[in-house]
Structure 1
Amino acid sequence: MASSRPTLHAFIDESGQRSKSKASSDHFVMSAVIIGDEDLPTSAGILDQLRTALGRRPEDALHWNQIKAHSQRLHLAKTLGAQRWLTASSVVVAKRHLDGGDDMNDDLLYCYTLRYLLERLSWFARAQGRVLDYTLAHVVRFKLATLREYEARLRTSHGCQIDWAYLDPHGGRLDQPGTLEQLQLADAVASATAAAFNVDSFGNTETRYLTELAPRLYRRRNAPLTSYGLKMHPWRDSTKAAYPWVAAL
């Protein structure tokens, strides 16, 4: 059972389209940043520093898609990669490598990805002996009732590896990056990760942002990074061949 040590907080955001349509992104990324209760003031201070460095006003929310310059995005990734109080974990769904699932709607694909992420968040909290609460950046047309229904299903799902004893029993919350600023950190991690997988309009990917973030990715002893801080789904011979650089992070 989790101890009475201070709470951990996970802030979750995503990048890419949830659907599997041909016009959608090839990858869907969901990322969490984990911050201890005692480090929340530090996280707010880093966001203030980043706004100043990136020429934003103090009240502005930092959104990756509004930061256009490569140098500014790189500065953001490097700054977060240097924060020892921050741990990140992401799930990358390589949609073109999935078998089936064409009958799943956007909410189901979103929830299926969340399951993998919650597993890893609960493992991290268990290792710390602390309870973790989690907040998701609100997604268009995704309702809190849908989240509650899915959490209930997961609790009785055979094969689900979430350790519920280390997650907030009230379940996850939904909020906006403009009102809960730590969600802006999750937006940066998800978007920086997605840039390494989804091609731009010229057919290129950019892995350097993710490389800069790599020190903050959740790692456990000698286990592969793809088991904890960068879960690839599916992860089999075809995806290992398509993304050989992932194992070297």
Structure 2
Amino acid sequence: MAHSFIAYIDEAGDDGLNPDKYRVPGRGGGSSHWLTIGATVWRQSRDLDAVRWAKEIRAQLPQQKRHKPLHFKDLDHPQRVMAIGGICERPMRALAVIANKPVIPDGTYPAKHQLYHYMCRYLLERLSWLCRDMRPSVPEGDGRVKIIFSRRRAMNYDDFQSYIQRLKDAADPEIRIHWPVIDIAAIEAEDHGNRFGLQLADLAMSGLTAALEPDFYGNVEPRFARMLKPRIYHRGTNYLSYGAKMVPAADTIPFTDQQREFLGIFG
């Protein structure tokens, strides 16, 4: 039987943890202060609709951008507002795990991709809860979610599947993934330009991160996070434990006054 849901996973920022290489406002280059890994999710039966959603966004771009894959970084501010608005009109959900890298103690994640894997565990927990919560209103399919990652260079996705299988086999009560909805064998990775769902995930994750990651001038843009809020997974008024999960906990992160607007939106 077909999956009930499909989730496209992308990231904004990078997983570099060298404290000497973080970006400084007014200078080029450097590693991001924040890493966001998140998913856009909809019914599997609507996956072809997502192609139309993305094409309708692209059709509103200037001619030279209409035939290129959607990338938040390639859009100017008005185009980003248009694109995020296009996401917010669609029957989808979004969820993200957002790490503030500078407060992570040195040596916490020494292995390659270790921070990424750790955040994906949190993401899969919340993705599994979302699919479990939505199952009563989505009768089609077998209840499971098809997971497609935006391909990262130098990352082995067979190893990632093995990592997820080890989490399942560990039977650790601290790992709160609702396993009946996760199809480990069906996890795959695709190039960003090959799947419109990944392009929509890029817009959503980059839009959320813009409220936290300072630009060249040291400013952040919370408008996109505010626009996306109706699509973010939550229970009651609780967003920060679900669709806008902070790593480490939000009360340990030294937010600037501008960044605190993110907490005002979701906290």
Tell me, yes or no, whether TM beats 0.5.
Answer: yes
Is residue 2:14 matched to residue 1:17?
yes
Q: Which residue of 66, 86, 100 corresponds with 2:74?
A: 66
Q: Which residue of 9, 28, 50 corresponds with 2:35?
A: 28
Give the Cα–Cα distance (whole angstroms) in 1 for the partners of residues 158 and 184 of structure 2. Answer: 15
Give the Cα–Cα distance (whole angstroms) in 1 for the partners of residues 254 and 32 of structure 2. Answer: 19
Is residue 2:130 matched to residue 1:115?
no
Is residue 2:262 matched to residue 1:233?
no
Once the two structures are TM-superposed, the CA of residue 122 in structure 1 deviates from its matched residue by: 0.4
Give the Cα–Cα distance (whole angstroms) in 1 for the partners of residues 57 and 160 of structure 2. Answer: 32
Q: Is the 8 A contact 1:224 1:247 kept in 2?
A: no
Give the Cα–Cα distance (whole angstroms) in 2 for the partners of residues 189 and 91 of structure 1. Answer: 12
Counterpart residue number, 1:8? 5
Once the two structures are TM-superposed, the CA of residue 223 in structure 1 deviates from its matched residue by: 4.8
Q: Is the 8 A contact 1:151 1:171 kept in 2?
A: no
Is residue 2:132 matched to residue 1:126?
yes
Structure 1 residues 157 and 112, CA, compared in 2 at 3 Å: closer, same or farther? farther
Q: Is the 8 A contact 2:3 2:146 kept in 1?
A: no
Q: Is the 8 A contact 1:82 1:215 kept in 2?
A: no
Give the Cα–Cα distance (whole angstroms) in 2 for the partners of residues 60 and 203 of structure 1. Answer: 29
Consecutive unaligned residues in structure 1, runs of 5 or more: none
Give the Cα–Cα distance (whole angstroms) in 1 for the partners of residues 158 and 183 of structure 2. Answer: 17
Figure out how many residues of one structure are paired with residues of the other and give that number.
243
Give the Cα–Cα distance (whole angstroms) in 2 for the partners of residues 33 and 119 of structure 1. Answer: 15
> Aligned-pair RMSD on alpha carbons?
2.0
Q: Which residue of 156, 165, 170 corresponds with 1:152?
A: 165
Q: Is the 8 A contact 1:18 1:106 kept in 2?
A: no
2:166 alignment partner AA:
R
Q: Which residue of 42, 47, 64 corresponds with 2:49?
A: 42
Once the two structures are TM-superposed, the CA of residue 154 in structure 1 deviates from its matched residue by: 1.3
TM-score normalised by structure 1 residue count: 0.90
Is residue 2:208 matched to residue 1:200?
no
Q: Is the 8 A contact 2:211 2:262 kept in 1?
A: no
Is residue 2:261 matched to residue 1:245?
yes
Q: Which residue of 77, 86, 89 corresponds with 2:84?
A: 77
Counterpart residue number, 2:152? 139
Is residue 2:60 matched to residue 1:53?
yes
Q: Is the 8 A contact 1:147 1:172 kept in 2?
A: no
Consecutive unaligned residues in structure 2, runs of 5 or more: 22-30, 136-142
TM-score normalised by structure 2 residue count: 0.84
Q: Residue 41 of structure 2 aligns to a residue in which SS?
A: strand
